[in-house]
């Protein structure tokens, strides 16, 4: 098809001579005259060097293919480890360690490529477990000390004197129910 002004449309295929001149080869179909044929290498281009072979029999993925299937284990391990450190405790720490080891195993087998996330998840899981253990230990020791102090007769007497002194200044008396409970507690201790 030609343009009304006599020029050729950009959508028309280039016009080729019907017969090639003597000494020329016939270009393959779809080739543009003066340019190398598609998918053929020109004599001036060099072939790209080959990369290293893939380890452990892994095959490369085609362009746009899905990522490696077990990469989510490393991410889960990292997230659970961070939650363990932030206070979610032993349960998320144990889960972080388990998924971290599975992530590292998948990376060694060539099924995943983020073993470092799994390692960080393992470390943060252990740190979270240690942190929780220390915190629970302090709470238990504090509860034992508080229970010991509250049951100490000297502490109870000091508390009663302090309470009576505070009430004595204002002229108020102790609540009758509280006074009855305190007497029962004193009888239990003595009897």
pLDDT of residue 80: 93
pLDDT of residue 4: 62
Rounded CA-CA distance 61/45 in Å is 26
Q: What is the DSSP string of 19-63?
A: SPPTTPPPPPTTPPTTSPPTT---TTPPPPPP-PPPGGG--PPPT
pLDDT of residue 114: 82
Nearest to 99 by CA among 112, 88, 110: 112
Rounded CA-CA distance 55/75 in Å is 23
pLDDT of residue 157: 83
Q: Is the full-model pTM beyond 0.85? A: no
Domain regions of the chain by residue span? 71-133, 152-190
Per run of 10 residues, the mean pLDDT along the chain (length 191 residues) is: 63 60 60 59 54 54 59 89 89 93 89 87 94 93 87 82 70 73 86 69
pLDDT of residue 79: 93
pLDDT of residue 83: 93
């Amino acid at each position: 098809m030609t343009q009304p002004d006599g020029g050729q449309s950009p959508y028309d295929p280039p016009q080729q001579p019907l017969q090639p001149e003597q000494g020329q080869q016939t270009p393959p179909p779809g080739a543009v005259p003066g340019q190398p044929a598609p998918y053929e290498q020109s004599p001036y281009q060099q072939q790209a060097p080959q990369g290293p072979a893939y380890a452990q029999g892994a095959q490369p993925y085609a362009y746009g293919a899905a990522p490696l299937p077990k990469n989510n284990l490393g991410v889960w391990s990292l997230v659970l480890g961070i939650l363990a450190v932030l206070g979610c405790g032993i349960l998320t720490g144990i889960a972080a360690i388990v998924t971290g080891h599975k992530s590292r195993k998948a990376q060694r087998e060539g099924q995943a490529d983020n073993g470092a996330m799994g390692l960080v998840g393992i470390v943060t899981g252990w740190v979270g477990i240690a942190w929780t253990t220390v915190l629970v230990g302090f709470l238990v020791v504090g509860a034992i000390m508080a229970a010991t102090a509250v049951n100490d007769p000297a502490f109870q007497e000091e508390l009663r004197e302090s309470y009576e002194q505070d009430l004595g200044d204002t002229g108020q008396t102790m609540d009758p129910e509280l006074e009855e409970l305190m007497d029962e507690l004193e009888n239990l201790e003595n009897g």
